[in-house]
Every structure is written in structure tokens, then in C-alpha cells.
């Protein structure tokens, strides 16, 4: 497990570094994907295989594709590099003449105050995030040493179970009905091991069923909202018609 | 033996990478991606805490609650990205740019 952890440690950090340093949006998205796969490995090392698989399915499978779609819909250049050789996705072919003219225009313009916009200047962002990191590391150092060392699992029975020994059994609330030879049903407690999918499902449906249902409602609302927001006529762009009206005209 | 604090350290480095990205990137989609990285770091922290600090005597639900919360965070993050990307498409249609400063006014 430690090998898995250290491998994914390196992969995750590399992906995160790629995300924040790459200027091209698609490469940054690739870095995010790598970081997601790395953290799936971390989840695997933490005895959470179900979370690891859902991480890959949801993040790498669905979110990354959605990001890629929107990157292709929009121009990935910002005001900063308009007219300069654009990032991937910009349709404009690099033309040295326009680039130099854009540079000249930039020089001629009055430079706005660096803190006037929403975006922080890079050195300041580095200082802010590094000081946050220092705070977090100090807080982590001050944590009590873990109740369960690596390779030990939280146990119901009070005794910790070492790695390699039979994993602790957790009693679930739903017993298994075993048919007796005389035809009657005997309730046998159902046991699950730490981290396996059955344990997660029992946690969801015995511990937090309401939250599970509410989240499904939330996702439904989000889908409706996304469809509404991205509709053409609701964006109110001058010059564009309602699609229904366009169909009428045609 | 691997110290669980190392995992927390990894998660905080990831979180701070995300913070840096959100603060310094101009492009709205890049800001959203960095936000996802921050959420991912929090997921790792949740799983680590429930795995190593659940305590003896934590029942089935207690020992796995971190994994459950992680799944909830994933669902909420997916919803958030859906809405956020729809917003970005709408902003791009109006302003013809996805620059963060273009959306600062929140006004057509």
C-alpha cells in the first residue's frame, strides 16, 4: 500500500504543478486529470476503493470531458494575451504583424492599477497561498498522533486489527435471513470489512439516507439550471434570435 | 510505517496549489479547474481523517463517514461545475471573452 501511496503522491503533485504552471488551457486540464488519477491512488492506499473508483468515474470521466467541451466552445485567450499567439483553442493563426501591433497598443495604453481587477498579481498570489500552506502545515503538526496507525483500522470491537490479519467486522443494521432446515428464518448479523463497497453502501443507507436523497434533488436542480443558463435566447445577446422564432421564420 | 500526516501534507499542498490557481488565473475556466483541485484536496483530507482519527468504538457509520462525505462532495462538485460552466458559456456569449474581469460587473 505504501508503494501505491508514494507513487500517487508524486503523480498528484506533478499534476497539480502542471495545472498551475501550464499556460495552455488544455495542458492545464491534462494536469488536472493527472492530479485526479493520483488522488484516486491515494484513496486506494487509504482503504477507500469505492471512493477511488468514483473519483475516476466522476472526475476523470465526466468533469474533465465537460471542461474540455466548454474549452472548445470558448476562446481560451484572456484580455492579457489577445492578439498574441493564443493558447490552444484560439482560432486565430499567429500573425507576427498583428502580434507586434497588439504589443504596441498595450504599451500605448495606460496600465490599470494591478489590484483594480479581480485577478491578483502572481507574486502576491504566491505569498498568499504559501502563507496559507504554512498555517495548514503547522496545524497538521499539532494534531494528536493518530489513534490508528497506518495499517491499523478503526474497529468496533475495541481492539485494533493489524494489516494482514482478518479485517474487522462491522455489524450492519440489516441482518441476513438464513433459512433453517425446518423452514423458519433465522436472523444472522451481516458483517462487512472496512472500506469495501458494501460497507460504504451500508453507511449511506443506514447512516445518511436523507442526505443521499437531498443530493439527488440538488443534482436535478443543477441540471435544470445549467440547461436554462446556457439557452441561447436567455443570454439576451443582441442580434441573436430566440431559436423558436428562428424556426418560425424558416 | 507511513504517517497519516504525510497524506494531510499532500492534501494541503494540493489545496494551496488550488488557491494559487484561483487567485492568479485570469481565465474563468482555469479558476473553476483550480477550484476542483481544492475540493479534491478536501476529499483526501476527509478520507484520511475518518480512516485514522475515527477512534476505537466508532461503528460502521462512524468509521466510513469520511468516505460518505467525500461522495457527497463529489456530487456537489459535479453540480457546481455544471452550473459554473453554463455561466461561463453565457458570459462568453455576451462579452466574447472568458476573462474574470469581464464578469466582475455581473451586469449585462
A55 within 8 A of A42, measured Cβ to Cβ = no
Domains of chain B, start order: 4-103 (1.10.287.3510)
Cβ–Cβ contact A126 with B under 8 A: yes
Q: How far is CA B44 from CA A1, A6, A41, A235, A241, in A?
A: 16, 14, 11, 38, 46
Note the pLDDT tens digit of each residue in A171-222.
666 667 777 788 777 777 667 778 888 888 888 988 899 999 999 999 999 9
**Which has more pLDDT, A183 or A86?**
A183
Are B15 and A58 a contacting pair at CB < 8 A?
A: no
More confident residue, B102 or A2: A2
ipTM above 0.85, yes or no: yes
According to the per-residue pLDDT averaged within each range, which of A99-103, A185-189, B32-36 is highest?
B32-36
Report yes or no: A141 at the B interface, CB cutoff 8 Å.
yes
**From its phi and psi, is residue A75 left (phi > 0), alpha (psi between -120 and 50) or beta?**
beta
Nearest to A73 by CA among B85, B37, B78: B85
Three-state DSSP state, A95? coil
A138 touches chain B (CB under 8 A): no
Closest residue by Cα to residue B79 from A60, A219, A225, A220: A219
CA distance A32 to B41: 12
Whole-number Å distance between alpha carbons of A164 and A151 = 9
> Closest-CA residue in chain B for A213?
B72
Cβ contact B19–A126 (<8 Å): no
Nearest to B51 among A47, A143, A156 (CB): A47
CA angle A220, A54, B48 (to 5 degrees): 115
Separation CA A65–CA B69 (nearest Å):
24
B37 and A19 within 8 Å at the Cβ level: the answer is: yes
Report the CATH architecture of A1-76.
Up-down Bundle (1.20)
Tell me the pLDDT tens digit for each residue of A156-168.
Answer: 444 444 555 545 5
Within 10 A of B19 (CB to CB), how many other CB atoms are there? 22
Amino acid at each position: 500500500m505504501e508503494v501505491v501511496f508514494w507513487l500517487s503522491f508524486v503523480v498528484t503533485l506533478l499534476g497539480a504543478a502542471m495545472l498551475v504552471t501550464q499556460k495552455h488551457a488544455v495542458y492545464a486540464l491534462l494536469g488536472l486529470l493527472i492530479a485526479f488519477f493520483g488522488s484516486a491512488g491515494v484513496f486506494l492506499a487509504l482503504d477507500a476503493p469505492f471512493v477511488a473508483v468514483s473519483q475516476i468515474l466522476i472526475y476523470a470521466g465526466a468533469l474533465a470531458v465537460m471542461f474540455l467541451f466548454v474549452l472548445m466552445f470558448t476562446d481560451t485567450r484572456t484580455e492579457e494575451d489577445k492578439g498574441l499567439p493564443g493558447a490552444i483553442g484560439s482560432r486565430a493563426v499567429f500573425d507576427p504583424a498583428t502580434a507586434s501591433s497588439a504589443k504596441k497598443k498595450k504599451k500605448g495604453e495606460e496600465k490599470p492599477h494591478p489590484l483594480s481587477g479581480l485577478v491578483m498579481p502572481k507574486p502576491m498570489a504566491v505569498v498568499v497561498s504559501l502563507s496559507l500552506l504554512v498555517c495548514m502545515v503547522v496545524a497538521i503538526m499539532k494534531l494528536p498522533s493518530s489513534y490508528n496507525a497506518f495499517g491499523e483500522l478503526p474497529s468496533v470491537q475495541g481492539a485494533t486489527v493489524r494489516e494482514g490479519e482478518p479485517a474487522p467486522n462491522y455489524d450492519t443494521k440489516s441482518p441476513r435471513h438464513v433459512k433453517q432446515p425446518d423452514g423458519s428464518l433465522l436472523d444472522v448479523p451481516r458483517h462487512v470489512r472496512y472500506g469495501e463497497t458494501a460497507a460504504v453502501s451500508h453507511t449511506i443507507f443506514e447512516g445518511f439516507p436523507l442526505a443521499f436523497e437531498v443530493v439527488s434533488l440538488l443534482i436535478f436542480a443543477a441540471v435544470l439550471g445549467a440547461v436554462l443558463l446556457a439557452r441561447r435566447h436567455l443570454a439576451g445577446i443582441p442580434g441573436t434570435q430566440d431559436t423558436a422564432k428562428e424556426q418560425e421564420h424558416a | 510505517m507511513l504517517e497519516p500526516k504525510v497524506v494531510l501534507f499532500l492534501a494541503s499542498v494540493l489545496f494551496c496549489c488550488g488557491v494559487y490557481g484561483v487567485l492568479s488565473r485570469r481565465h474563468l475556466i482555469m479558476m473553476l479547474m483550480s477550484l476542483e483541485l481544492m475540493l479534491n484536496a478536501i476529499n483526501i483530507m476527509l478520507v484520511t481523517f475518518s480512516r485514522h482519527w475515527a477512534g476505537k468504538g466508532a461503528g460502521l457509520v462512524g468509521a466510513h463517514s469520511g468516505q460518505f462525505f467525500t461522495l457527497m462532495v463529489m456530487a456537489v462538485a459535479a453540480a457546481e461545475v455544471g452550473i459554473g460552466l453554463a455561466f461561463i458559456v453565457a458570459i462568453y456569449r455576451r462579452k466574447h471573452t472568458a476573462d474574470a474581469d469581464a464578469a466582475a460587473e455581473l451586469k449585462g
